[in-house]
A and B are shown apart, each in its own frame.
Chain A
Amino acid sequence: MKTAALCLAMGAALLSGTAAADGFWPKKDGVAGSTHDLLKADQAFQLVAAEREGNTLKVSWEIAPGYYLYRKRIAFQALAPEGARLDAPELPRGEPIEDEHEGKTEIYRGSLKADLRWPRGAAAPQRLRVSYQGCAEAGVCYPPQTRTIDVIDLTH
């Protein structure tokens, strides 16, 4: 019986070591190992839509839990039709934070909607260039993202 126990124990040790080597156990990604499940920028900061309702364009994001966007790094540009322009965007008040390098700044988590208007007499924008930048709370920041998005007209 003792021999059987010894054989089984040796087998368990071998299996366990092999499982670790083959990645059966949670693997580290480098020495700190806390950031290997991070999302790509498009999953972390989903630019959902740009919709026209009357004289307002509403641009919306869904920000994944554990991620945030910087208020001051959100920007818009009208690309079409030719000559289309935008007034300064109306962004909601963000969550104030004290950033080690940025100082006092504001961030957004969860759902975000920005209201955009255009100058009187100018054409309503139909295509936008949207820029934004954010980070994960895990201590990783994403490069500035720039996307082109067509406006969906909900007016009619």
Chain B
Amino acid sequence: MRSIILIVVACIIAAAAGYGFYRYAHEGTVAAEPLPAGLQLSGLDGKPHGFEEWRGKLVLVNFWATWCTPCLHEIPELVKLQKQYAARGLQIVGPAVDDPDAVRSMLGPLGINYPVLSGTPDSMIDIMEKLGNGPGGLPFSILISPDGLILDRQLGEFTPAQLIKLIESHLPPATAQ
């Protein structure tokens, strides 16, 4: 009887350890996958832009809108991180599901210090769906590696701690100045 209990306890402990190790090793990541080809966004001036423009950098693409309260709540943190991590290779890009004039009117008040693009709801929902946002909600972010792989995606707001952890885990270590 004691042996059976020993076996059961050992199995439970081992199963928990196996699962725990997996989750520890993979925390905060999804399997990297290539960026869908040919995704085209528009600048506020109407000029076309593609994600390949920022190849060589760690790119955080944050879809937002002026009518989206959680998006507006998240942006000051992105502004701070763009300043803090630019020298280490982070580039934030903010495609807005919005009218260019509405977006322009918010750039100053929000102090946005990274490129902002815009597009109609239909075109942006299509692009976001190709990037893995099935429900089509905002804010929606994807992290793209310097060689164009999607490293992570997030529907909904990041907390500041989550953002720092995510960015730090994919940037080269800081060098002493």
Contact = CB atoms under 8 A, between A and B. Distances in A.
Bound together: yes
B157 A143 contact: no
B66 to A, nearest CB: 9
B137 A16 contact: no
B14 A20 contact: no
Contacts of A29: 30, 153-155
A20 B137 CA distance: 27
A8 B136 CA distance: 45
Nearest to B122: A143
B136 A41 contact: yes
Contact of B137 (A2, A5, A31, A142): A142
A12 interface: yes
A139 B22 contact: no
A34 interface: yes
A82 interface: no
Interface stretch (A50-58, A98-106, A120-128): A98-106
Contacts of B135: 35, 38-41, 140, 142
A21 B30 CA distance: 11
A83 interface: no
Interface stretch (A86-94, A108-116, A130-138, A148-156): A130-138
Nearest to A14: B18
A48 interface: no
B90 interface: no
B21 A17 contact: yes
Interface residues of B, number: 50
B40 interface: no
B158 A21 contact: no
Interface string B65-80: 1011111110000000
A125 B125 CA distance: 30
Contact of A100 (B26, B72, B162, B165): B72
B7 to A, nearest CB: 4
B134 interface: yes
Interface string A35-71: 1101111000000000000000000000000000000
Interface string B37-69: 000000000000000000000000000010111
B3 A1 contact: yes
A13 B11 CA distance: 7
Contacts of A144: 67, 121
Given A138-B156, A144-B67, A10 B165 contact: no
8 contacts: A12-B12, A12-B14, A12-B18, A29-B153, A29-B154, A32-B158, A40-B134, A101-B73
